[in-house]
Amino acid sequence: MGSDAYLDEIQQLRADDAQGALNLVDRARKQADLSIEELTGLAHALDERKQRVAALTLLEEALRREPTAAEPAYTLAMLYLEQQQDARAVEILKPVLAAQPDHDKANLTLAMALAKTEPSQARAHAARAAKSADEDVRAQAQELEKVLAEHASR
């Protein structure tokens, strides 16, 4: 299946045929043909189509295959943060940052996950993310640093 199936699935999603795409995804997952990048891309597309459970499943599958893969990890962690599951987000991100300590988006996401419970660690991760070459990541990290500093001074 591989890349051809992935392209078919994306076309079906663009055509709003979420069920057809889900069926192809299920077949591809059973055959273990989709790469980590394809699983992550499909998860993004499914999430955009309000198929949150399917997106979570694909991201979890990607991390089962490669626990240190940054993109599925920070994407999945953000979905868990939206559900107020901060501890689960932290758990997902720790292996990524053990392997890639300076990964900007993983550091930013971990800073968000730790902000309520471990603000000093959150500040350290936000500071790493603030060094990002990505302007959006850098701006978000700097804003988070300000919020954490304000709360620390209270």
pLDDT in tens, 11-62: 666 666 666 666 666 665 665 677 899 889 888 888 888 888 888 988 999 9
Q: How far apart are CA 87 and CA 136, in angstroms?
A: 25
What's the average model confidence in pLDDT over 128-149?
Answer: 96
Q: How far apart are CA 27 and CA 40, in angstroms?
A: 16
Q: Where are the alpha helices (DSSP H) in the chain?
A: 2-14, 18-31, 36-48, 52-65, 70-82, 86-99, 104-114, 119-129, 135-152
User: Which tokens hold the place of 34?
Assistant: 């989709």
What pLDDT shows up at residue 32?
Answer: 65
Q: How far apart are CA 39 and CA 101, in angstroms?
A: 24
Verdict on whether the full-model pTM lies above 0.85: no
C-beta of residue 59 within 8 angstroms of C-beta of residue 72: yes
What pLDDT shows up at residue 1?
Answer: 44
C-beta of residue 149 within 8 angstroms of C-beta of residue 125: no
Tell me how far CA of residue 115 lies from CA of 95, 128, 131, in angstroms.
Answer: 19, 15, 18
pLDDT in tens, 61-107: 999 999 999 999 999 999 999 999 999 999 999 999 999 999 999 99
> How many other CB atoms are there within 10 angstroms of residue 133's CB atom?
7
Q: What is the DSSP letter of 53?
A: H
C-beta of residue 46 within 8 angstroms of C-beta of residue 13: yes
The full set of domains in the chain, from first to last, is 1-66 (no CATH), 68-153 (1.25.40.10)
Residue bearing the bigger pLDDT, 151 or 135:
135
